């Protein structure tokens, strides 16, 4: 998956001295993709030219960011047998100049009689000599994925054929199967056929119906009904947690005891190829424009095209926008944070709510509570980044598909525990990351509306300005 990497590129950028290097590497060519097994794909490419040096590569799979690597090859072990994938590569240099994505190359993973994890083509099960699998259940991973598990039957079992909606889907050697190709809000009906070393097959198991929009296993939402569903805008504040920070934005100006109106490295540093200048309203009130508007109930961060008379003051960036942070004003270590917001729609718009390390260290962790690309209005992205031995590590950009999130207010939350991060939309857990490298240091809050950049691309004629990121509240809780 795709890294949302909003702060990822930022974190790398502020680690290096300021440089006049503005030349991105040449576009990567020579991309080659090989299925090295039914569950692994190798991707290789040529090293591109750069006037300084190439620092690393972002791997895109099926059009979305998937991983960051620092060599000209990558092995993807998160693939399914008999499935189609396409890969593209983006190179970046130490100054964080990103080129455009390479030509994509496609591959289909294998699965034949020579692969001992795959059975012969499944016949219609017609005998009872092999025990039927039972106890099917699902662990929902995100809006597009679930792991289906079952109880292994007794006897000489070689493997299992997985059926979805009565069609053969895959063969697996162990009693679980991860389906990464689901649509949020749709029902999928799974059955399992067991087979033994003699290629004798059981009857199909009892069916399990799975819907990744299920809440606690039984409440369902769908894209048409979610606007009126009672759980929309619900909160996921854990029981026993107390409020430790909040801004309800009921006034008519920024609360300077809570917020800074620029990143801690100042407004002059543009990252990720973005095209906005963040107006520091607090420290530069005479700039001539404020991106922050208040109506007594909500804060609106607006992005506009830079007026000609402000172009020089805006470092000649073509857009003006705003960012807020609690750096040196509020920090926390573990807890739950939440924003209720209406997100801006349109190509080239990149809104976010995230957390960043309070004190510089060699790990430099970042938790992206939400990132929203304006021309993908039905998807929220969740990502975690950190450094390990000076190498960037990033989770996939987990997706939370749903309705058009720009159409109304929704709540977006994140529970941060030792070794675990859980992301929520409207009170429903949508994605989880469990790892010993989850941040353990103090972190602060950030909220911003970026324009342009390597991920969303530049605005086009369809993008409406002013673009508006409307925020009802931001809150933080701890046990």
First to last CA, the chain: 32
Does residue 366 have an active-site annotation? yes
- Listed in sequence order, the residues at least 6 apart from 294 whose beta carbon sits closer than 8 Å to its beta carbon are 249, 251, 252, 253, 300
**Strand ranges inside 118-258, DSSP E:** 134-142, 145-151, 159-164, 167-172, 176-179, 188-195, 208-210, 242-247
CB atoms within 10 A of CB 448: 24
Contact 325, 444 (CB under 8 A): yes
**Rounded Cα gap, residues 392 and 325, in angstroms:** 23
CB atoms within 10 A of CB 47: 14
Q: Could you check whether the bond before residue 269 is cis, i.e. omega within 30 degrees of 0?
A: no
**44 CA to centre of own chain:** 24
Does residue 371 have an active-site annotation? yes
- Exactly one of 371, 399, 417, 441 is catalytic; name it: 371
**Closest to 60 measured CA to CA, from 69, 51, 52:** 69
- Exactly one of 366, 399, 417, 441 is catalytic; name it: 366
**Rounded Cα gap, residues 412 and 38, in angstroms:** 37
**Rounded Cα gap, residues 479 and 475, in angstroms:** 14
Structure tokens at 430: 């949508």
Parallel, antiparallel or unpaired: strands 467-478 and 335-342: antiparallel
Entry field: residues in the chain: 479
Residues with active-site annotation = 366, 371
């Amino acid at each position: 998956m795709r890294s949302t990497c909003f702060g990822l590129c930022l974190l790398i950028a502020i680690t290096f001295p300021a440089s006049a290097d503005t030349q991105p590497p040449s576009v990567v060519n020579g991309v080659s993709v090989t299925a090295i097994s039914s569950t692994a794909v190798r991707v290789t490419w040529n090293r591109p030219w750069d006037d300084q040096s190439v620092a690393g590569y972002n791997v895109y799979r099926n059009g979305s960011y998937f991983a960051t690597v620092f060599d000209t090859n990558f092995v993807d072990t998160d693939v399914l047998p008999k499935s189609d994938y396409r890969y593209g590569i983006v190179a970046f240099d130490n100054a964080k100049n990103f080129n455009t994505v390479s030509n994509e190359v496609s591959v289909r993973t294998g699965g034949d009689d020579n692969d001992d994890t795959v059975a012969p083509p499944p016949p219609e099960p017609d005998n009872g000599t092999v025990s039927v699998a039972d106890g099917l259940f699902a662990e929902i991973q995100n809006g597009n994925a679930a792991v289906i598990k079952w109880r292994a039957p007794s006897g000489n079992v070689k493997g299992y054929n997985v059926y979805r909606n009565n069609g053969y889907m895959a063969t697996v050697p162990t009693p679980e199967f991860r389906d990464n190709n689901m649509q949020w809000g749709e029902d999928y009906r799974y059955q399992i056929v067991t087979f033994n070393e003699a290629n004798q097959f059981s009857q199909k198991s009892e069916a399990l119906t799975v819907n990744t929009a299920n809440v606690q296993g039984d409440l369902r939402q769908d894209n048409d009904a979610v606007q009126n569903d009672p759980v929309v805008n619900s909160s996921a504040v854990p029981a026993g947690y107390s409020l430790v920070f909040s801004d309800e934005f009921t006034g008519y100006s920024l609360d300077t005891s809570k917020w800074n109106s620029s990143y801690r490295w100042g407004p002059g540093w543009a990252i990720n190829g973005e095209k906005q200048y963040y107006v520091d309203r607090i420290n530069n009130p005479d700039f001539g424009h404020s991106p922050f508007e208040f109506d007594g109930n909500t804060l609106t961060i607006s992005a506009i095209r830079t007026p000609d008379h402000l172009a020089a003051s805006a470092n000649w960036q073509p857009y003006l926008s705003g960012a807020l942070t609690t750096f040196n004003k509020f920090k926390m270590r573990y807890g739950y944070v939440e924003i209720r917001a209406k997100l801006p729609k349109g190509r080239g718009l990149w809104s976010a709510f995230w957390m960043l390390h309070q004190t510089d260290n060699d790990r430099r962790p970042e938790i992206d509570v939400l990132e929203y690309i304006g021309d993908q209005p039905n998807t929220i992205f969740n990502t975690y980044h950190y450094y390990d031995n000076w190498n960037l590590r990033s989770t996939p950009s987990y997706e939370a598909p749903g309705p058009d999130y720009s159409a109304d207010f929704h709540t977006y939350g994140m529970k941060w525990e030792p070794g675990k991060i859980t992301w929520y939309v409207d009170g429903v857990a949508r994605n989880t990351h469990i790892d010993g490298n989850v941040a353990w240091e103090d972190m602060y809050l950030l909220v911003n509306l970026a324009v342009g950049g390597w991920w969303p691309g530049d605005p086009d004629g369809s993008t409406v300005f002013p673009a508006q990121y409307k925020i009802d509240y931001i809150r933080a809780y701890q046990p």
